[in-house]
Amino acid sequence: MRKIYYIISLFVLAVAIGCTDDNSSVDLDAVAAPTNISALTTVTQDNTGKVTFLPKGEGVTQYEIYFGDGTSEPAILNPGETYSHVYKEGIYQAKIVGKTLNGKSTEVMQEVVVSFKAPENLKVVITNDLSVSKKVTVTATADFALFYDVYFGEAGKPEPISANNGESVSYVYQAAGVYTIRVVSKSAAIQTAEFEQEFEAILIEGPTSAAPIPSRSAANVISMFSDSYSNVAMSTWRTDWSQATKGEKVIGGNNIIQYSNLNFVGAEPAATINAGAMTFLHVDVWSSDFAEFRIKLVDFGANGVWEQGGDNVEHEVKFTSPAQGSWVSLDIPLSDFTNLTTREHIAQLIFSGNPSGSHTIYIDNVYFYKEPAASSALVGTWKIAPEAGALKVGPSYGSGDWWANDAQAVIDRACYFDDTFVFSANGDFSNVLGADTWLEKWQGVASESCGAPVAPHDGSGAATYLYDAGAKTLKINGAGAYLGLPKVNNAGELPTVTVPSSIIYNVTLTDNNNTMNVVIEAGAGVFWSYKLVRI
């Protein structure tokens, strides 16, 4: 039976390769190992000890289940399949293995309790999610139990949701209100244990935390509403022709605007805003019940007056199905406001959305901004300093606790230490690698060595850069463009993440702008540091 599964997997692989474009290739080495491996284990209530496994995970093409009771052969399953196994009474350590087509695997151990005693000492905790509206979480534990079923009591939803004993299960109701939640804890015995409680699923009517704090340099911002900047004077945040109720809240010392019963609402500055040099509009918005969010900008023209048939221009952009119950940060290119052909006399900002007249939104950090211009401080050609410690990585900012290059590495990797990073005065950026550079296994080589640069990290793609001297950040735009090491980016390290379209680095210039110290957090808690010198 096991051979059959492998044959099927190889057939699927062959089909996948055969269906690819002639100019593309399947990079199996780039496929990451599976994550979040677990299994829901349920048992029949008939004293037979029949346990059913439903394995779960991300990036899995095949599962293996080792039962932990001396059974020699594992069960082999495709995603979504279940497998039943009969145990004698006892406590077992099952092993769940998730595999990918390239052979990478992740395994977890999971306790399987098979008891012919009815569950005892059932304890249930029910809580409301404090950030997601109408979301209720149940956690149940009981002695001798393997799993439990939860009936959340919403009309039309009679089927329970199952969870392993001691684990949590969540449910989002269609409407806030009081529901009868019933929990049935189960072991391998015929008798079960039950718990029932009336519980109110609450509507989160507003955010419980402040919006993200902006970090853009004030020199590149025209702010209308934000505690992080000096705001232009506003005549009103609710015009007399608006159809909405305006309120204000303070969260963590941060001011926000509330609009309830929103159909549409207009805001007007005391004087028209010249946003001609700006390139983006930023808005942070929070709602527990919107299905669509719209923003309109209106320019009154050179005379600063709205006139029927005059030189006013306007355009509205919309966002369908925005995330509910959390802050949504919108950075909207002003070029998206297609019909807003002039931006030198912005006179109105109008918010609207759906469901019209019956939803509530919260607004913060409303401002125009432009990307920082390329700085002359970076213009020129740079390379990694040919010295020990020029490359390092560790668990904290600037740390090299995990690894740092030594002096011998400068010699062994001479093909890397002669690579250059070129910042042009017009904002263009280039990786100049020459005939060879240092390659790692994730780039398709058998071992780490010097070799011909591998696309997209070969310097062939167009790239630009934006340096914000005030914020000490450097943004490099262009898939495959990089500073330091090609595998390192803000999401993590290749090949476990995709090649990004841009990367942001923290940069400090010293030695009369001839030394560049760079730090980037690759994912969470992994800090790479580079030292570059101007040549």
Report the C-alpha gap between 366 and 330 in whole angstroms: 10
Domain CATH number, residue 172: 2.60.40.10
Q: Which of 369, 401, 422 is the last residue of a domain?
A: 369
Burial 378-401 (b: 16+ CB within 10 A, else e): bbbebbbbbeeebbbbbeeeebee
* 448 and 526 both lie in a single domain: yes
Indicate the pairing of strand 380-384 with strand 527-534. antiparallel
* 356 and 398 both lie in a single domain: no
Residue type, 364: D
Element (H, E) at 7: helix 2-18
Residue 71 DSSP one-character state: -
3-class DSSP assignment, residue 6: helix
**What count of other Cβ atoms lies within 10 Å of the Cβ of residue 417?**
20
| Cis peptide upstream of residue 456 (ω within 30 degrees of 0) | yes
On whether the CB atoms of residues 64 and 74 are closer than 8 A, the answer is yes
> For residue 206, what pLDDT is reported?
85
DSSP H helices, 341-432, are 407-412, 414-417
**Does residue 17 sit within a domain?**
no
**Does residue 271 sit within a domain?**
yes
Domain housing 136: 122-201
* 454 and 523 both lie in a single domain: yes
- Beta-carbon contacts of residue 174 (< 8 Å; ≥ 6 apart): 134, 154
* 94 and 151 both lie in a single domain: no
* 319 and 338 both lie in a single domain: yes
Q: What is the DSSP track for 174-229?
A: SS-EEEEEEEEEE-SSS--EEEEEEEEEPP--S-SSPPPPP-S-GGGEEEEE-TTS
Q: Which two tokens stand for residue 263?
A: 């159909």
On whether the CB atoms of residues 149 and 162 are closer than 8 A, the answer is yes
**Does residue 14 sit within a domain?**
no
Report the C-alpha gap between 320 and 318 in whole angstroms: 6
On whether the CB atoms of residues 139 and 129 are closer than 8 A, the answer is no
Report the C-alpha gap between 87 and 7 in whole angstroms: 30
Q: Which of 72, 90, 114 is the last residue of a domain?
A: 114
Report the C-alpha gap between 33 and 25 in whole angstroms: 20
Domain CATH number, residue 93: 2.60.40.2470
Distances in whole angstroms, Cα of residue 53 to Cα of each of 65, 93, 116, 151, 164: 8, 13, 19, 21, 11
> For residue 140, what pLDDT is reported?
98
* 410 and 502 both lie in a single domain: yes
* 230 and 345 both lie in a single domain: yes
> For residue 95, what pLDDT is reported?
97
**Does residue 9 sit within a domain?**
no
- Beta-carbon contacts of residue 512 (< 8 Å; ≥ 6 apart): none
Element (H, E) at 14: helix 2-18
Domain CATH number, residue 448: 2.40.128
* 340 and 242 both lie in a single domain: yes
* 427 and 386 both lie in a single domain: yes
Number of domains in the chain: 4
Q: Which of 62, 89, 114 is the last residue of a domain?
A: 114
**Does residue 72 sit within a domain?**
yes
In the chain the first and final C-alpha atoms are separated, in Å, by 63
> For residue 18, what pLDDT is reported?
47
* 88 and 131 both lie in a single domain: no
* 66 and 159 both lie in a single domain: no
Residue 346 DSSP one-character state: E
**Does residue 164 sit within a domain?**
yes
* 287 and 355 both lie in a single domain: yes
SS (H, E, C) 236-297: ECCCCCCEEEEEEEEECCEEEEEEEEEEEEEEEECCCECCCCCCEEEEEEECCCCCEEEEEE
On whether the CB atoms of residues 341 and 324 are closer than 8 A, the answer is no
> For residue 3, what pLDDT is reported?
39
Report the C-alpha gap between 281 and 439 in whole angstroms: 41
Per-residue pLDDT of the chain (535 residues; tens, 9 = 90+): 433 344 344 444 444 444 444 444 445 666 789 999 999 999 999 999 999 999 999 999 999 999 999 999 999 999 999 999 999 999 999 999 999 988 899 999 999 999 999 999 999 999 998 777 889 999 999 999 999 999 999 998 889 999 999 999 999 999 999 999 999 999 999 999 999 999 999 887 788 889 999 988 888 899 999 999 999 999 999 999 999 999 999 988 899 999 999 999 999 999 999 999 999 999 999 998 899 999 999 999 988 888 887 889 999 999 999 998 889 999 999 999 999 999 999 999 999 999 999 889 999 999 999 987 655 689 999 999 999 999 999 999 999 999 999 999 999 999 999 999 999 988 899 999 999 999 999 999 999 999 999 999 999 999 999 999 889 999 999 999 999 999 999 999 999 999 999 999 999 999 888 999 999 999 999 999 999 999 9
**Does residue 434 sit within a domain?**
yes
Q: Is 531 exposed, middle or buried (0-12, 13-18, 19+ CB in 10 A)?
A: middle
**Does residue 189 sit within a domain?**
yes
Domain CATH number, residue 337: 2.60.120.430
**What count of other Cβ atoms lies within 10 Å of the Cβ of residue 534?**
17
